[in-house]
C-alpha cells in the first residue's frame, strides 16, 4: 500500500460516490465527474489572469483532483498517516450564482460515505481524530465554482522483521 495507490483508489471511489449526479458542462451538455491524480492534465488547463479557459474546447469541469498533501510515519510501528485534499470543480452558468450548493452537496456525500464506513477498499482507514476539513473558494469565478475537502488516512506500513522470531 502506497500513497500513489491510495490516490488512485480514492479517485475511483469519488467517481463512484457521485456517479448518479450529472453536472453541467461549458458546452451545454451534461456529464459525470472525472477524477484526476495530483493535477488537471495540462491539455485541459489554460489559466489566464483570473479566468480559466479550456484548450481545444475541452473543459475539465466537473472534476475532482485527488492531491497527496503530506505524510507522516512517527515510529516504525505506527500507522503511516497520509493527508489528502480533494479539489472539486463544477461549471454552473445559472444567473442565481448558486454553484457553491453543488460543491457543498458533493462534499456532504463524500463525508457521509466515509463517516458511515471509514475504510476504503479494506486497505485504508480515515483517521477519525483528524476529521474532515473543507473550504469553498472565496473568489468570484462565476460560472466556475471550486471547493476542497481534506482527509487524513491511516495506512499500514512495512513491519520490521524480527530475526529471532
Q: Which of 149, 156, 87 is nearest to 125 (CA)?
A: 156
Structural domain contains residue 39: yes
Domain count, the chain: 1
pLDDT for the residue 43: 59
Structural domain contains residue 165: no
Structural domain contains residue 163: no
Structural domain contains residue 134: yes
DSSP string, 80-111: EEEEEEEEEEEE---TT--HHHHHHHHHHHHH
**What's the CA gap between 82 and 84, in Å, rounded?**
6
Local structure of 6: helix, strand or coil = helix
Q: Kindly compute the dihedral angle of the four CA atoms of residues 121, 127, 130, 131, in this order, to the nearest 10 degrees.
A: 50
* Domain of residue 151, residue span: 3-155
Structural domain contains residue 160: no
Residue 44: pLDDT band (50, 70, 90) is very low
pLDDT digits (tens, 9 = 90+) for 83-133: 999 999 999 999 999 999 999 999 999 999 999 999 999 999 999 999 999
Structural domain contains residue 137: yes
Structural domain contains residue 162: no
Structural domain contains residue 161: no
Q: The domain that contains 120 carries what CATH number?
A: 3.30.2000
Amino acid at each position: 500500500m502506497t500513497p500513489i495507490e491510495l490516490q488512485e483508489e480514492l479517485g475511483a471511489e469519488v467517481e463512484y460516490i457521485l456517479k448518479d449526479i450529472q453536472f453541467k458542462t461549458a458546452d451545454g451538455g451534461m456529464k459525470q465527474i472525472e477524477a484526476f491524480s495530483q493535477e488537471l492534465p495540462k491539455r485541459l488547463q489554460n489559466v489566464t489572469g483570473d479566468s480559466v479557459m479550456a484548450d481545444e474546447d475541452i473543459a475539465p469541469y466537473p472534476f475532482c483532483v485527488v492531491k497527496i498533501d503530506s505524510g507522516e510515519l512517527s515510529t516504525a510501528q505506527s500507522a503511516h498517516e497520509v493527508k489528502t485534499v480533494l479539489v472539486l470543480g463544477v461549471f454552473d452558468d445559472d444567473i442565481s450564482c448558486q454553484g457553491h450548493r453543488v460543491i457543498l452537496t458533493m462534499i456532504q456525500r463524500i463525508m457521509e460515505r466515509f463517516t458511515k464506513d471509514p475504510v476504503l477498499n479494506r486497505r485504508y482507514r480515515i483517521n477519525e481524530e483528524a476529521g474532515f476539513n473543507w473550504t469553498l473558494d472565496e473568489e468570484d469565478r462565476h460560472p466556475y465554482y471550486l471547493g476542497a475537502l481534506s482527509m487524513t488516512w491511516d495506512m499500514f506500513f512495512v513491519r520490521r522483521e524480527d530475526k529471532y522470531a
